[in-house]
Amino acid sequence: MSIGALISLAFTALIIENVILTQFLGICPFLGVSKKRSSALGMGMAVVAVIVISSIITYVLYHGVLAPLEIEYMRTIVFILVIAALVQMVELVVKKISPALYKALGIYLPLITTNCAVLGVAIININKEFNFIQMLVYSTFVSLGFLLVIYLFSMLREKIDSAPVPKAFKGTPIALIVAAILAMIFSRFGGLI
Amino acid sequence: MNQKDNFIKGFFKENPLFVTVLGTCPALAITKSLENAIGMGIAVFFVLVLSNLIISLLTINPKMKEFIKPVRIPVYIVVIATLVTIVEMVMHAYLPALFVSLGVFIPLIVVNCIILGRAEAFASDNKPVDSIIDGMGMALGYTMALMLISLVREILGSASITIWGDLALDITPVFTFIGIQPISMFLQPVGAFLTFGFILATLAAITNKKSAKLATEVKQS
């Protein structure tokens, strides 16, 4: 695996196949927790941490335990349990080590268990038959893509709050239309590679 | 609440997709054709009805309910994940084409907020029969919402309506008669966001009009 191929994989994961705008994973937090810049940043960083750690654990579990025992069909159950346990553990560790960080991220952590991006990335890593390095690069940049888009989107939403939006479009509808315009911009980056 | 209201509420008053805005990820991702929406609806129907039944049976005894209270979320997730694995295996065996086109969104039914939401908000406090009916209403309401989005996207995007497999309706003649081309943008992510946004706005406009009418009636009387 050359460095060039890894860079192209990273760019694809970050922008071209952006996890929110083209794969539609993690739409619930994208719409729900993007009203303020600070909360979007907190949610995004919590997602980055959980996706990277859970991808490593689920990858090792799949290739170390499930595949040798030929019980691959158990992967959905095993992965979601790993993610739920991991989220609880991250919450405890962050609470113990850094109360300040816990205050910033604490309320977003329990929500991450039902964020489809986490389970989605774990399953995509297996489906695309990545090796360990590729998996590491892919899951890091996919989650950074989540952080990038949710942060950009929260800035746009803060502006929209003060704009004269028609009554019927207030709230979620206008947010979805702004997301459509963002998706249009991101889909054009495909020509770069 | 009688059983009819319990069943009907999933369609309009508490529609999971349009009113509570849950389960949006599959609603945007797999609504490229009507066939996908129907397939997803069947999968969600099976999982939601059975998970509601199992969870309401688990919590029917007050002692048992108290016992699993601290670990209820992991318990619910294991029940749901087991059902989803069954759906995944059955679909892989009997509907391989649909399995490929729904892709990663079949295992992701596990983290569909509707199912966990109904388990927590309804099935854990209600009788098994009520929970089954609630699950059916919610799943059919969700399917209806998915079908509406995919109808708009498929007609505008590819000028056809695929009901199931080869059973498809080609409406290109209508398009040529009016003198327009299908807009492929509607099959891309942009179209998904736009369609969903405009449907939600239309529904909001209807609700606003209704509540304004109600308010003037109250004022007059």
pLDDT digits (tens, 9 = 90+) for A18-60: 888 888 888 888 888 888 888 888 888 888 989 999 999 999 9
Quickly state the pLDDT bin for B22 (edges 50, 70, 90).
confident
Indicate the burial class of B117 (C-beta count within 10 angstroms; 0-12, 13-18, 19 or more): middle
Strand pairing report for B167-170 and B160-164: antiparallel
Nearest CA in chain B to A87: B74
CB contact under 8 A, B25 and A174: no
Contact A113 B200 (CB under 8 A): no
Q: Which residue of A has its CA nearest to B193?
A: A180
Residue type at B23? G
pLDDT tens for residues A127-169?
999 999 999 999 999 999 999 999 999 999 999 888 888 888 8
Residue predicted with more confidence, A146 or A115: A146
Beta bridge partners of B161: B169
Q: What is the pLDDT of residue A103?
A: 78
Domain range enclosing B32: 3-220
SS3 of B146-179: the string is: HHHHHHHHHHHHHCEEEEECCEEEECHHHHHHHC
Answer whether B108 sits within 8 Å of A174, measured CB to CB. no
Whether residue B43 is predicted with pLDDT greater than 90 in this model: the reply is yes
Q: Which residues contact A101 (CB under 8 A, 6 or more apart)?
A: A94
Instruction: Give yes or no for A24 touching B (CB within 8 A).
Output: yes
Residue A13 domain-assigned? no
pLDDT for A89: 85
Say if the Cβ atoms of A127 and B104 lie within 8 Å: yes
> How far is the alpha carbon of B83 from chain A, nearest alpha carbon, in Å?
10
Least CB–CB distance from B189: residue in A22, A81, A124: A22
pLDDT band at B150 (very low <50, low <70, confident <90, very high): very high
Nearest CA in chain B to A119: B108
The chain-wide mean pLDDT, for chain A, equals 87
From chain B, the residues in CB contact with A167 under 8 A are 204-205, 208
Distance from C-alpha of A127 to C-alpha of A122, rounded to nearest angstrom? 9
In chain A, the number of structural domains is: 1
Measured between beta carbons, the chain A residues lying within 8 angstroms of B85 are 73-74, 76-77
To the nearest whole Å, the CA of A141 is away from the closest chain B CA by 19
CB atoms within 10 A of CB B63: 6
> Residue B33: what are its φ and ψ, rounded to 5°?
-140, 155
So what's the ipTM on this one?
0.86
Chain A residues touching B192 at Cβ < 8 A: 24, 180
Please give the residue range of the domain that contains residue A61: 21-186
Given an 8 Å threshold on Cβ–Cβ distance, is A127 in contact with B108?
Answer: no
Q: Provide the shortest C-alpha distance from residue A111 to chain B (in Å).
A: 11
The mean per-residue pLDDT over the stretch B104-124 comes to 87
**Alpha-carbon gap: A97 to the closest alpha carbon of chain B (Å):** 25
Number of domains chain B is built from:
1
In A, minimum Cα distance to B81 occurs at A77
Q: Which residue of B has its CA nearest to A110?
A: B73
Spell out which chain B residues touch chain A, with contact meaning CB-CB distance below 8 angstroms.
21-22, 24-26, 28-29, 73-74, 77-78, 81-82, 84-85, 88-89, 104, 107-108, 110-113, 116, 188-194, 196-198, 200-202, 204-205, 208
Q: Which among B81, B193, B196 has CB closest to A80?
A: B81
Chain B residues with beta carbon closer than 8 angstroms to that of A118: 111
Q: How far apart are CA B174 and CA B156, in angstroms?
A: 12
Rg (CA), chain B: 20
Whether A106 has a pLDDT exceeding 70, the answer reads no
What is the biggest distance separating any 2 CA atoms in chain B, rounded to whole angstroms? 68
| B82-93 pLDDT, tens digit each | 999 999 999 999
The answer to whether residues A8 and A134 touch, using CB atoms and an 8 Å cutoff, is no
